[in-house]
Amino acid sequence: MTTDVLLVAKCDDEWPVRVIELLDQRLSVSRVDALQGPINSTDYSSVRIIVGGPSHVAPWVTVCPNLQWIQSTWAGVDALTDIVPKGVVVTPLKDVFGQSMSEFVMGWILALERRILERASSSFWDDRSEDGVLGKTMGILGTGSIGTAIAASARQFGIRCRGLNSDGRSIEGFEACFKTGVHRFFDNLDYVVSVLPKTAATDNAINHDAIQRLSPESIVINIGRGNAIDDVALRSALTDGSVRAAVLDVFRNEPLPDSDAYWNTPNAYITAHTSAPTLERFVARAMSANLDRFLAGQNLLGAFDPSKGY
């Protein structure tokens, strides 16, 4: 094989077409099936760039000795953090998921607060009113581009927003921001939304103490990584009613096993890591500026920082 860029994609993925258009014959490119591993007899030493989902890319890293850059088609790169050689730059898919994740969060909050799911399946006339969301408070764990976009959407409905980040720095759009580990952030929150990456610092960020501080009718939503939730504490709170509902899109183990207790936990709504679909146009868009920088020998933007874990 003589190729500069390796696209690791499933047969029905459309993003490679846009990436090939972006390359515009500036670099040679080959596409391989994400569901099949490298061929032992093939020489991959010419590959300098790999594009694909982290778990699909992982088997290819060790067979590409001259690899310089991995462009992820996902926001999270957990599957690569322990295997990427020194000097190889990994760029997650950033700054493109705010819209879709905001839709997911607000869609679920409105569905639960306005009892849309319940009313849709009702077999009798139910004219009880709901309080709605005006004046309620949302706490967002993670104040980057996704968290900021969610806050902007929430404010359109009259929801007040506070943020949690690594150093408590103020971020525009949040009434207040708190440093990770400061539990008064959770005091009387109506909605808790985690968009945290997976790092040692984010393990069990939403734990028993945090949950006990929430308002009695609180809703917990996790669209970041599964490690942010103390699962035992949350299941207990859902069972005893101290948390009204939880919408969980990410888990420590995925796919979530059929035997997992969440499937039978009251008011736990399980979705299959679908809050932020990778829209095909985003991959080429994310690569565009960095491709020019790569060809010019410049440092790439938005690179994964191992010291931070994101």
Instruction: Pick one of 1.10.3720.10, 3.30.70.260, 3.40.50.720, 1.20.1250.20 as the CATH number of 5-95+279-295.
Output: 3.40.50.720
> CA 158, CA 287: separation in Å to the nearest integer?
36
Contacts of residue 9, defined as CB under 8 A and 6 or more positions apart, other chains included, come to: 15, 16, 31, 32, 33, 34, 52, 56
What φ, ψ does residue 99 adopt, rounded to 5°?
-65, -50
As to burial, measured by CB atoms within 10 angstroms (0-12 exposed, 13-18 middle, 19+ buried), residue 300 is middle
Estimate to the nearest angstrom the gap between the alpha carbon of 120 and the chain centroid: 29
Superfamily for 98-270? NAD(P)-binding Rossmann-like Domain (3.40.50.720)
Q: From 157, 185, 182, 179, select the one nearest 167 (Cα to Cα).
A: 179
pLDDT, tens digit only, all 310 positions of the chain: 689 999 999 999 989 999 999 999 999 999 999 999 898 889 999 999 999 999 999 999 999 999 999 999 988 898 898 899 999 999 998 888 899 999 999 999 999 999 998 898 889 999 988 989 999 999 999 999 999 999 999 999 999 999 999 999 999 999 999 999 999 999 999 999 999 999 889 999 999 999 999 999 999 999 999 999 999 999 999 999 999 999 999 999 999 999 999 999 999 999 999 998 766 678 998 899 899 999 999 999 999 988 777 7
**DSSP string spanning 131-154?**
--STT-EEEEE--SHHHHHHHHHH
Amino acid at 271: T
Q: From 161, 143, 174, 178, select the one nearest 106 (Cα to Cα).
A: 161
> CA 97, CA 56: separation in Å to the nearest integer?
20
Residues of the chain with CATH 3.40.50.720: 5-95+279-295, 98-270
> CA 148, CA 121: separation in Å to the nearest integer?
34
3-state secondary structure of 36: coil
